[in-house]
Amino acid sequence: MFVQKLLQEIKSKGNSCVVGLDPTLEMMPDKLKRKYLLKGSMEEIAQMFWEFNKTIIDYTSELTPCIKVQIAFYERYGLPGLEVFYKTLDYGKKKGLMTIADVKRGDIGSTAKAYAQGFLTNSSIDSITVNPYFGSDGLLPFVEETKGGEKGLFILVKTSNPSSKELQDLKTEDGQFIYEKVADLVSSFAGDYTEFSHIGSVVGGTHREHLKRLREKLKGFILVPGYGAQGGKGEDIKYAFNSQGYGALVCSSRGITEHYKKIGEENYGLAAKISLEMMIEDINREIEKGVK
């Protein structure tokens, strides 16, 4: 079951940090560019991303419980890119990691079902992210394909970008914010769990107040993107955890994978590991200080 496996990984690794694998051309070390970019084809770029991802996973898989792979950065390079997206998730699995495919899909019922089958039923991916704009009948097919908890979902509630306020922070007639309405929707699917539900949510790491309020409301794991590069800080993010220090996943992508730019590209895998170690220390220290 998704939540049990996730908690087991978190406990054995001693942290709730997630390595995000969102490769871009600008992110690649020069030595990889020299090795792969001969004609600049999509195939070459995809092959380069594959070596990069594998190296990052090899260096971080003993530390991190989970990887998150954002499909946009692969889809950008067509089918060769998408092949590396799936291969990366498979490789993470093989290394014993939990996997999140960050695909943010959302559509009407029959289409949502097709997405859910593709990413959950017909694949080894553990969990995906989902967009709630269609309401409950667009979410239900995803919930169904989790098969009562074998797989997990993370439904967007409050995103980390500045403009998220334009829609998500609108106040409705009854005084609730839109993102709270979405949180209610998420809770309605989360069922009656004594520990954590497999129906989780996504809440940006830049909103301490939101994290506080939503941690009380939500029964599932909260996936918090935006640590580091997007401005999320441990002292805010800790509010996504419960008083025992569980129930959130904190993700950093560029902060980890581009850390080599600060200390030299000779060993970009080791640089990623060092950055992850610092992140784990920061988050664990903040959790330990407690939620005041």
Q: What residue ranges bind a second copy (CB under 8 A)?
A: 22, 24, 70, 72-73, 75-79, 81-83, 86, 104-109, 111-112, 114-115, 117-119, 122-123, 131-138, 156, 159-168, 170-173, 178, 181-182, 185, 230
CB 46 within 8 A of CB 77: yes
If the CB atoms of residues 110 and 244 are measured against a second copy, the closer one turns out to be 110
Give residue 107's region: left, alpha or beta (phi > 0; psi -120 to 50): beta
Give residue 14's region: left, alpha or beta (phi > 0; psi -120 to 50): left
Cα–Cα distance for residue pair 137/26, rounded to 1 Å: 40
| 17-21 vs 248-252, strand pairing mode | parallel
Shortest CB 163 distance to a second copy, Å: 3
If the CB atoms of residues 141 and 247 are measured against a second copy, the closer one turns out to be 141
CB 202 within 8 A of CB 223: yes
Shortest CB 279 distance to a second copy, Å: 19
If the CB atoms of residues 24 and 267 are measured against a second copy, the closer one turns out to be 24
Structure tokens at 181: 């309405």
Cα–Cα distance for residue pair 20/69, rounded to 1 Å: 6
Collapsing DSSP states into helix, strand and coil, what is residue 231?
Answer: coil
Phi, psi of 266 (to 5 degrees): -45, -50
Shortest CB 115 distance to a second copy, Å: 5
CB 257 within 8 A of CB 269: no
If the CB atoms of residues 6 and 28 are measured against a second copy, the closer one turns out to be 28
Nearest CA to 66 out of 131, 120, 104, 12 is that of 12
Shortest CB 105 distance to a second copy, Å: 7
If the CB atoms of residues 102 and 286 are measured against a second copy, the closer one turns out to be 102
Contacts 24+ apart (CB under 8 A), 73-80: 73/22, 73/23, 73/24, 73/49, 74/23, 74/46, 74/49, 77/42, 77/45, 77/46, 77/49, 78/42, 79/42, 80/42, 80/43, 80/45, 80/46, 80/47
Shortest CB 226 distance to a second copy, Å: 8
Shortest CB 95 distance to a second copy, Å: 21
| 152-158 vs 127-130, strand pairing mode | parallel
Q: Of the residues 35, 104, 233, 261, which is catalytic?
A: 104
Q: Is 95 a catalytic residue?
A: no
If the CB atoms of residues 13 and 210 are measured against a second copy, the closer one turns out to be 210
The catalytic residues are 104
